[in-house]
Each structure stands twice: as structure tokens, then as C-alpha cells.
């Protein structure tokens, strides 16, 4: 992570937490590859803002073949991937009794399947070098039930289980795997929530200012760094004290 010729790959880097992660990593002097799915103009804007330090790559997490090609493309053009942040995801809010199979399958495929496929390709490269760090972005809904969030919560609970198992598998190769568990964060994904719902989600927070995207990005940057060399298999809450 600390070597200038190594790269951190962030999935879903154009908005919200992902964009904050890209910004925090570049401030820390890292070279960053980030992915976008539908917002090419925003991706180009971020590249221009961080010319030379940041490169954008297209990725649809439902595409089974793209992760392998993406990793090869980044390592051939930018350098070895020393860190992976599985941030990209989608959210669909539907009561379980009214949910369709299509909604359930899509959310699980993107959030959990995408994390699986990206991790599989990146750790294959890391194993050869005997080192690296993976950070998965989960959600507090994986630990606390939220009405209408069954598919999303199930996908994020799967991400936490995947994190622990992969940490056990990869530790002997010097590869660390952790997760962050954000509580309520104001992003585009939560912008459509009513003030009443936001109030309910924040009701058990201890800190009055809540959690900002930059708060999550700072913890992820730490977990990717050598300062966190003794930490693996952990799920770190960033929830303004909700889980206290």
C-alpha cells in the first residue's frame, strides 16, 4: 500500500461514499483506479480533478467476465493492485411480501455476487505477491432489522460472512480482509428517504452530527494502510454510536 507503484481499486467511485474514498486515498498519496457503471461524465470529471493520480474504468457488477478483464487492464496500465475496496452496490426498498424474484436476485447479484467476483480476481493477483488488503463496504442493516430492507440487508450480511471467511483463507498469504459497517450516511442512495424515516434511523445515534461520507472513507484508508497491519477479519462499525 505504501509503495507509489501500487494501486488501490475502488468500485463505484463516482458518488457518495465511493467518491469520498477516492478523494481520501488521493490525499493520502495513493494511485487510484475506480469504476463507474452509468455516469461516464462524472467519472471523467473526477479524473480531470485528480489528473495523473486517478483513472476510471467501466464495470457492471452483473457482468461475470468483466472483473477478470478489469484487473488485467488495471495492472497492465497502472500497476499492481495492492488494495481493493468493494463499495459499489444498489438498494431496493420493498416489503418482503411484495418483493419480486427479480428484485431479490438483482440486489443479491450486485451487492454480494459483485463483491465475490471482484474479490476472487483481485486476491488471485495478491496471492502471487504475498500481500494486499481488501475492504468491503457493508451496512448496519446487516446487523439490525430495517423494514423494507430484506434483500439489501441479506446481501450485506452475506458480505460480512464473506469477509470473515476470506480473511481466514488469505491470512497465510499476508492478505488482510476487513469490512466497514456504516450506519445512516447522507448519500444519493438515501436521498429519497423521508425526514420521518431518517429520524427513525438516526434516533439511536450518540453523536449529534451523525456520519459523513468522509468519516467512512477515512476508516477505509486506515484499514488499507500498513498502520492496520494487525487487523483482519473484522467488521468496523461507523455508525455514530448506534451499535453502542
| Residue numbers annotated as active site | 152
For 136, list phi and psi in degrees, rounded to 5.
-105, 140
Q: Give the list of residues 6+ apart from residue 101 with CB closer than 8 angstroms, or none.
A: none
Alpha helices of the chain — where are they, by DSSP H?
16-27, 40-49, 66-77, 101-108, 114-129, 150-170, 195-202, 213-224
Burial of 131 (0-12, 13-18, 19+ CB in 10 A): middle
Q: Please give the grid coordinates belonging to residue 233.
A: 477479519
Amino acid at each position: 500500500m505504501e509503495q507509489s507503484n501500487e494501486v488501490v481499486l475502488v468500485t463505484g467511485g463516482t458518488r457518495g461514499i465511493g467518491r469520498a474514498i477516492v478523494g481520501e486515498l488521493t490525499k493520502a498519496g495513493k494511485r487510484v483506479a475506480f469504476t463507474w457503471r452509468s455516469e461516464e461524465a462524472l467519472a471523467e470529471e473526477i479524473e480531470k480533478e485528480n489528473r495523473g493520480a486517478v483513472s476510471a474504468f467501466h464495470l457492471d457488477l452483473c457482468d461475470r467476465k468483466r472483473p477478470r478483464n478489469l484487473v488485467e487492464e488495471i495492472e497492465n496500465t497502472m500497476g499492481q493492485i495492492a488494495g481493493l475496496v468493494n463499495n459499489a452496490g444498489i438498494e431496493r426498498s420493498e416489503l418482503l411480501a411484495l418483493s419480486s424474484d427479480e428484485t431479490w436476485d438483482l440486489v443479491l447479484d450486485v451487492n454480494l455476487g459483485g463483491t465475490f467476483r471482484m474479490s476472487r480476481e483481485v486476491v488471485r493477483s495478491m496471492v502471487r505477491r504475498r500481500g494486499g488488503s481488501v475492504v468491503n463496504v457493508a451496512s448496519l442493516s446487516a446487523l439490525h432489522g430495517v423494514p423494507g430492507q430484506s434483500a439489501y440487508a441479506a446481501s450485506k450480511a452475506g458480505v460480512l460472512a464473506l469477509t470473515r471467511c476470506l480473511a481466514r483463507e488469505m491470512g497465510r498469504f499476508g492478505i488482510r480482509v476487513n469490512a466497514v459497517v456504516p450506519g445512516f450516511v447522507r448519500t444519493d442512495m438515501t436521498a429519497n428517504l423521508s425526514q420521518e424515516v431518517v429520524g427513525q434511523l438516526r434516533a439511536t445515534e450518540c453523536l449529534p452530527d451523525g456520519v459523513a461520507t468522509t468519516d467512512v472513507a477515512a476508516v477505509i484508508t486506515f484499514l488499507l494502510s500498513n498502520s492496520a497491519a494487525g487487523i483482519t477479519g473484522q467488521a468496523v462499525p461507523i455508525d455514530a454510536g448506534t451499535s453502542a
